């Protein structure tokens, strides 16, 4: 078990052909603490698999260093890094039984037979595969095969970390929950450092203590699921996390208000004018946007609150526990989440809860440390 440090990792497929196309990683610094459960979240092609393969040693980065417990392992091949990896498609050795499959990495590492058997037995029972131990692995269903691939990582006592590359893609939806719960259990029991790559936010948010959101080879935000939800550092994160995603509207700043066209939205904080050197709106270099989650917009009747933003209803989608209301504010489309039972006024107006209104400058959360300046 180990902490993993990425020191300025960058990668480009420019000179070699690859299935991943030319996804590049742009200088990534990060430290994964020993024993943590992390998720790498991002759309397809954002470089998350590349990053994973760099950690496991299947790829050598074009630049930067990988450190395990402060030791530079950048030039070590995969088999010497003691990393276990579970792939998108279950990999089992067809001709072997389930038990033999789990035994394989130990056999390759020349472990004594007694230790081998004991270890395999332990992992088999832990994954609930004991009954299938003598079955040929090839005939089993994808979820069991995926457990076998996981098991091959778990049997190794020397494993520094277990990496998962979208491991639940081929699993039936109802089994996904089971398998994810089992993963959590494994993590609690063995406390391996686990890094989980996925493009599914539910998977990432339920599995990980900390989630790293990536886009086009860059890390946009690292945080707990709650941080990602409540203060997305980037408009992409706001939109990507949450269902439906954050509403993003172009705006301007006017002291304690943000204005969208002729509408004024009160803000919880005044963005200090001193940071804007300039004239009209002093300093608003770049594009300003306002972000608000559908959960944090209240719908009221227009006549009740004259300060609310009048909007017209385009459509209402009833999802049972809540409704998603599509509204138009001038020409901007806005989604609002209305809890079950709450009425939808026929001529509605919106109230944005000020503490949840975020301002983004050039897509980056304004007033946060991560913003470029």
Residues interacting with other proteins, by CB under 8 A? 17, 19, 53, 56, 58, 77-79, 83-85, 87-89, 91, 93-96, 104-105, 108-109, 136, 138-139, 149, 152-153
Distances (CA, A) of 336 to 177, 221, 241, 311: 28, 25, 15, 11
Nearer to other proteins, 42 or 153 (CB): 153
Q: Residue 344 in 3-state DSSP?
A: coil
Nearer to other proteins, 74 or 88 (CB): 88
Output the smallest distance, CB 153 to other proteins, in A.
Answer: 8
Cβ-based burial of 149 (10 A; exposed 0-12, middle 13-18, buried ≥19): buried
Distances (CA, A) of 241 to 51, 175, 189: 21, 23, 29
Nearer to other proteins, 85 or 198 (CB): 85
Residue 19's CB is within 10 A of a number of other CB atoms, namely 6
Output the smallest distance, CB 154 to other proteins, in A.
Answer: 12
Nearer to other proteins, 133 or 324 (CB): 133
Listed residue (299, 288, 280, 314) closest to 344, CA to CA: 299
Output the smallest distance, CB 159 to other proteins, in A.
Answer: 10
Nearer to other proteins, 101 or 363 (CB): 101
Output the smallest distance, CB 24 to other proteins, in A.
Answer: 20
Output the smallest distance, CB 307 to other proteins, in A.
Answer: 57
Task: Specify whether the CB–CB gap between 164 and 86 falls below 8 A.
Answer: yes
Residue 65's CB is within 10 A of a number of other CB atoms, namely 14
As a whole number of angstroms, the distance between CA 350 and CA 289 comes to 18
């Amino acid at each position: 078990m180990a902490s993993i440090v990425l020191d300025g990792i960058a990668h480009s497929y420019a000179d070699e052909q690859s299935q991943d196309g030319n996804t590049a990683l742009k200088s990534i610094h990060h430290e994964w603490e020993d024993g943590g459960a992390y998720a790498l979240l991002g759309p397809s092609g954002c470089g998350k698999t590349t990053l994973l393969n760099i950690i496991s040693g299947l790829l050598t980065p074009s630049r930067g260093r990988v450190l395990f417990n402060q030791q530079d392992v950048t030039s070590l091949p995969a088999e010497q890094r003691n990393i276990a990896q579970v792939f998108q498609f279950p990999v089992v050795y067809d001709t072997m039984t389930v038990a033999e499959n789990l035994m394989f990495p130990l056999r390759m590492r020349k472990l004594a037979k007694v230790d081998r058997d004991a270890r395999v037995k332990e992992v088999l029972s832990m994954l609930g595969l004991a009954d299938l131990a003598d079955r040929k692995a090839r005939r089993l269903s994808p979820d069991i095969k995926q457990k076998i691939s996981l098991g091959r990582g778990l049997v190794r006592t020397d494993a520094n970390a277990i990496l998962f590359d979208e491991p639940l893609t081929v699993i039936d939806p109802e089994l996904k929950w089971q398998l994810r719960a089992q993963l959590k259990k494994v993590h609690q029991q063995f406390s391996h450092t686990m890094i989980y790559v996925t493009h599914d936010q539910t998977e990432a948010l339920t599995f990980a203590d900390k989630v790293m959101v990536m886009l086009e080879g860059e890390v946009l935000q690292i945080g707990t699921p709650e941080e990602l939800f409540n203060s997305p550092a980037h408009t992409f994160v706001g939109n990507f996390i949450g269902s439906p995603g954050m509403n993003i509207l172009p705006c301007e700043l006017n002291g304690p208000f943000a204005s969208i066209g002729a509408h004024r939205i009160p803000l919880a904080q005044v963005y200090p004018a001193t940071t804007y050197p300039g004239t009209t709106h002093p300093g608003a270099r770049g594009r300003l946007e306002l972000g608000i989650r559908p959960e944090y917009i209240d719908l009221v009747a227009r006549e009740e609150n004259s300060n609310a933003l009048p909007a017209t209803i385009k459509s209402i989608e009833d999802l049972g526990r809540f409704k998603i209301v599509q509204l138009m504010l001038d020409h901007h489309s806005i989604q609002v989440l209305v809890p079950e039972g709450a009425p939808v006024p026929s001529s509605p107006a919106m109230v944005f809860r000020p503490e949840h209104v975020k301002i983004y400058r050039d897509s980056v959360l304004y007033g946060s440390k991560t913003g470029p300046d």
